Each structure stands twice: as C-alpha cells, then as structure tokens.
A = this chain, B = another copy of it.
Amino acid sequence: MSDSPTDAALDDVYGTDLASTPRGDGVRDLLMTDRWNTPLGRPNGGYILAAMLRGLGEEIGASDPLVAAITYHSAPANGPAEITARPVRLGRRVQTGDATLVQDEKLVAQLTASFGLRTEGMRIELGAPPALGPPDQYPDPRDHGMPTGGIFDRVDYRIPRVPGFFVGKPSGDPSFEIWQRRSDGGLADFPTLAFLCDSFVPPVLELGGEVRHSMTVQLTAHFHRLPTTPWVATRLVTRRIHDGFHEEDCELWDEEGNLLAQSRQLALVV
C-alpha cells in the first residue's frame, strides 16, 4: 500500500474505477477515467457494464448476478457520470433491478439485471472450453503490434495466433481463443467477468474490407460461477453479419474447464 491516494488508487484500479458512490435515492456518482478507454479514446462498453452492474447490485443489496442486458445509446466520454439504479422486483429466487448511466444529461446506457439465489443441484455442461494450452506458452500480443494504454493495460492477454488486423493483414476468420486475466493478477469477480466479455478487440475486424469498427448496441451476459485462479480462457466469435450489424458471442472458462460466463452482443458495423 502507498501513502499517496493516487498511488493507492492505481494499486487497485479495478476496485476504484468500477466503484460508484451512493448519493441517495438510487443515484450514484461514477468517475470514468481514461484507464478503460478503447483505442478510439472512449470508455470501453464492457467497463461501463461492469460499473453499472456493480452499482446496481450494491443499490438493491444483491451481489450474485445471473443475467444482465445492457443497451448502449450514445458514446461515453471520460469524466463524471451518474448511475441511477432501482429495484424492479425482489423475489425470493430472483431479484431484478434496472439502471441508467447519464452523462451531461445524455443517456449513455440502460441496464436490466437479475440476481439470484443459487441452489445446489444438477450441474450439466455440454459445451467445451477453448482448446488452449497453458497461458505461459503463448505470446503477449503487445509484443506483436497490439496497442497499449487504456483497457489494454487493464488486462494481460496470451494469444496463440496474433490477430492479423493488428499488422494490416486480417485473417478472414472472425474468431479468437485467448487467455485473459486482470493485469493486477487479481481474481475476477462478477463485474470483472462482465468486463472480460468485451475487453479484447472484436473478432469481426479479422474480416477486413468494409469492416473498420464495431459499436455495441446491446449485450446480454449470463453469469455462472467465479474463477479460483486468475486466467480466464476466452472464446470470441462472430458468426453472422447482416444489414450493417453483426453479432458476437463470448464464452469465459476457468483453467479447470468450467464455464464462468457467456454473452451475446449486437453491434453496428461502422
């Protein structure tokens, strides 16, 4: 721990930057630093989801999210923002609330999330984790043309195949299987898992051509369990592009082959 508040904050960027401060009546203050910016210079959507999910959970007294659906309405900027969260229905098995993020009187995003009481019982998994070897056998893409700064400093990546579009040669295959972990080496909590669903570059960019950027319109994430080790095996795939939009599916798996979370998003091709 450092004596300087600034250094102390930097020691726990996840803890401080995902936290919002309650002002009462469900209103919370969030400061969106540039530490979560994408290469386009604006706060990453996954970060916004993570901060809103954490704020909503704290507001309604629930910490174990089952599903979160967010719609992004306008581009966020660095600086202060206001989360307004409210309970919608607090049942015994499922507790649901919604939240908005407003900045300069502009609605940036709206979230509906359900939290729940997980019970013991049948556990079945018919999917398979990414076919990845141990993280330390793969390169860090920052040594191979990937930009640094912003969110790319919040996550350590290990990647068997360096994305071609980093070096101007899109592979044509809109999918990645990669390792991710918090760059501070910490374990992911649920808000962090939400962030990790959208913390790498969109695989759709590997198609090249008219696909230059991707802007998320809507993302729904399902949460299953927390990891017990820092590395998260991540499968990203875009299976379809249509009418100026694309989809992207993400799965997060722990090192033992358990699904942690999955998401699907609709995004604009721009």
Judge whether A207 is part of the interface by a CB distance below 8 angstroms. yes
A177 to chain B, nearest CB (A): 15
Judge whether A110 is part of the interface by a CB distance below 8 angstroms. yes
Judge whether A217 is part of the interface by a CB distance below 8 angstroms. yes
* Contacts of A229-270 to chain B: CB distance below 8 A: 237-245, 247, 259, 264, 266, 268-269
Q: Mark A60-86, 1 if CB is under 8 A from B, else 0.
A: 000000110101011000000000000
Q: Mark A207-236, 1 if CB is under 8 A from B, else 0.
A: 101110000011010101100000000000
Contact A114 B217 (CB under 8 A): yes
Judge whether A5 is part of the interface by a CB distance below 8 angstroms. no
Task: List B contacts of A244 (CB < 8 A).
Answer: 93, 117-121
Contact status of A123 and B88, CB under 8 A, knowing A96-B73, A114-B218, A220-B264: no
* Contacts of A121-135 to chain B: CB distance below 8 A: 121-127
Task: List B contacts of A22 (CB < 8 A).
Answer: none
Contact A112 B73 (CB under 8 A): no
Contact B264 A222 (CB under 8 A): yes
The distance in angstroms between the C-alpha atoms of A242 and B117, with both chains bound, is 12
Interface size on A, residues (CB 8 A): 55
Task: List B contacts of A125 (CB < 8 A).
Answer: 239-240, 242
Judge whether A107 is part of the interface by a CB distance below 8 angstroms. yes
User: Which residue of B71, B240, B264 contacts A124 across the interface (Cβ within 8 Å)?
Assistant: B240
Interface SS, A side: strand
User: Which of A89, A237, A243 has the largest count of B CB atoms less than 10 A from its CB?
Assistant: A243
Judge whether A8 is part of the interface by a CB distance below 8 angstroms. no
User: Which residue of B91, B112, B210 contacts A110 across the interface (Cβ within 8 Å)?
Assistant: B112
A236 to chain B, nearest CB (A): 13
Q: Mark A34-73, 1 if CB is under 8 A from B, else 0.
A: 0000000000000000000000000000000011010101
The distance in angstroms between the C-alpha atoms of A268 and B239, with both chains bound, is 28
Judge whether A116 is part of the interface by a CB distance below 8 angstroms. yes
Contact A121 B210 (CB under 8 A): yes
Judge whether A94 is part of the interface by a CB distance below 8 angstroms. yes
Contact A112 B242 (CB under 8 A): no
Task: List B contacts of A96 (CB < 8 A).
Answer: 71, 73
Q: List 15 A-B contacts (CB under 8 A).
A: A67-B217, A69-B69, A69-B71, A73-B89, A73-B91, A73-B96, A74-B89, A114-B218, A116-B217, A121-B210, A122-B210, A124-B174, A127-B239, A220-B220, A224-B243
The 7 closest A-B pairs by CB, nearest first: A118-B243, A119-B244, A69-B69, A220-B220, A124-B241, A126-B239, A73-B89
